[in-house]
């Protein structure tokens, strides 16, 4: 009986957020479409801890355990390459590999929050066989020595345009005025979104329009003091399955957000792909959707948000959606597949195996 073929890629999935899980699922599926055999080693979520330093340590240890277990299971025929999803997943790696990341600890773990992560991350980025940032902004946050040479390749997370059901005669009505996604509401600036929405309602009067809040429960927002029970004009949809959330995107005229820092912005890119206008504040971090949104309609980028939100609802650019879809071409599955086939795989497998 012939020996089993060695796996092509071990993908070490941190999966600490919905966005990271989605990115890993898309990467594994894309590699599979290209005939690459992939093992996904998923880190086991640790218990909640009181600080970012401890939380990152727990996740790094969980990623190491997942990677070690997968490598031990295939020690006779080890995978040709390893990709660590996030710099946190790579901090305690058992084998050198490529690192795919949306942001660095150097960027999103300032001060005491990243005291041990930042120096170790710098070493790992320098040692990695390849750097696979989601966007150019994430690469710019990496230390300059790590960016030199030919190791870096921007590999976006794909988003797809919303498809209309074959049974439907027309796209769904845009009967939701505005939608926002509020997982981690303080970082996402939900308080600023709500303040802008309330101010706009006070200015324009009661029109029966709603802001729909997804990704958080009404109870949690009330406990945080962001929302009052029964507040008019605001509806909390809570946590939703992916298809249910995308159905809301297909009905919304505007996607609005005010992040205090944005590490990439999958939700914003997905909103553009589903035909929403993107109203946002400028934000620090490798915010991939920001430049696209500014090019589409600079009037919709503002701090405070009230004027931008008013403009989107009352004076939308007529060709906004068509231009958004054209701008998103590099972010489609087909676009990402071309980068994988033409650039990533030849370079990834050209690297010598780095064993433990």
Residues 126-142: tens digit of each pLDDT: 999 999 999 999 998 88
Using CA atoms, how far apart are residues 312 and 307, in angstroms rounded to an integer?
9
Number of H helices, E strands in the chain: 17, 10
Backbone angles phi and psi of 39, in degrees to 5? -105, 130
Stretch (H or E) spanning 282: none
Residues 85-110: tens digit of each pLDDT: 999 999 999 999 999 999 999 888 98
Whether this prediction's pTM lies above 0.95 is answered by no
Residues 187-210: tens digit of each pLDDT: 999 999 999 999 999 998 777 899
- Beta pairing class for 81-85 and 98-101: parallel
Range 280-284, long-range pairs (CB < 8 A, 24+ positions): 280/256, 280/305, 280/308, 281/189, 281/192, 281/257, 281/305, 283/189, 283/258, 283/259
CATH numbers and ranges of domains, the chain: 9-158+332-348 (3.40.50.2000), 176-329 (3.40.50.2000)
């Amino acid at each position: 009986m012939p020996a089993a073929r060695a796996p092509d890629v071990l993908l070490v999935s941190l999966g600490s957020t919905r966005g990271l899980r989605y990115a890993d699922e898309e990467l594994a599926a894309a590699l599979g479409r290209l005939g690459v055999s992939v093992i996904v080693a998923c880190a086991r979520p640790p218990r909640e801890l009181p600080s970012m330093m401890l939380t990152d340590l727990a996740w790094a240890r969980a990623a190491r355990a997942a990677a070690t277990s997968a490598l031990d299971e295939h020690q006779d025929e080890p995978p040709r390459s390893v990709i660590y999803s996030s710099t946190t997943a790579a901090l305690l790696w058992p084998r050198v590999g490529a690192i795919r990341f949306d942001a660095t600890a150097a960027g999103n773990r300032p001060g005491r929050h990243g005291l041990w992560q930042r120096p170790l991350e710098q070493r790992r980025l320098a040692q990695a066989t390849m750097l696979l940032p989601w966007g150019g902004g994430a690469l710019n946050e990496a230390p300059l020595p790590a960016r030199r040479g030919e190791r870096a390749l921007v590999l976006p997370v794909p988003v797809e345009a919303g498809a209309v059901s074959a049974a439907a005669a027309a796209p769904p009505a845009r009967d939701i005025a505005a939608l926002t996604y509020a997982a981690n509401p303080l970082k996402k600036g939900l308080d600023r979104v709500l303040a802008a929405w309330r101010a706009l309602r006070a200015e324009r009067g009661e029109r029966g329009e709603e802001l729909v809040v997804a990704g958080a429960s009404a109870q949690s927002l009330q406990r945080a003091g962001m929302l009052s029970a029964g507040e008019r004009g605001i509806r909390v949809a809570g946590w939703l399955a992916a298809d249910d959330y995308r159905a809301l995107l297909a009905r919304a005229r505007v996607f609005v957000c005010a992040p205090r820092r944005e590490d990439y912005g999958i939700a914003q890119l997905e909103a553009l792909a589903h035909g929403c206008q993107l109203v946002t504040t400028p934000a620090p971090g490798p915010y991939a959707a920001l430049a696209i949104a500014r090019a589409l309609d600079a009037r919709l980028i503002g701090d405070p948000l009230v004027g931008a939100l008013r403009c989107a609802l009352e004076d939308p650019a007529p060709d906004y959606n068509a231009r958004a879809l054209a701008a998103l071409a590099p972010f489609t599955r087909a676009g990402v597949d071309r980068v994988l086939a033409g650039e990533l795989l030849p370079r990834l497998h050209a690297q010598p195996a780095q064993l433990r």
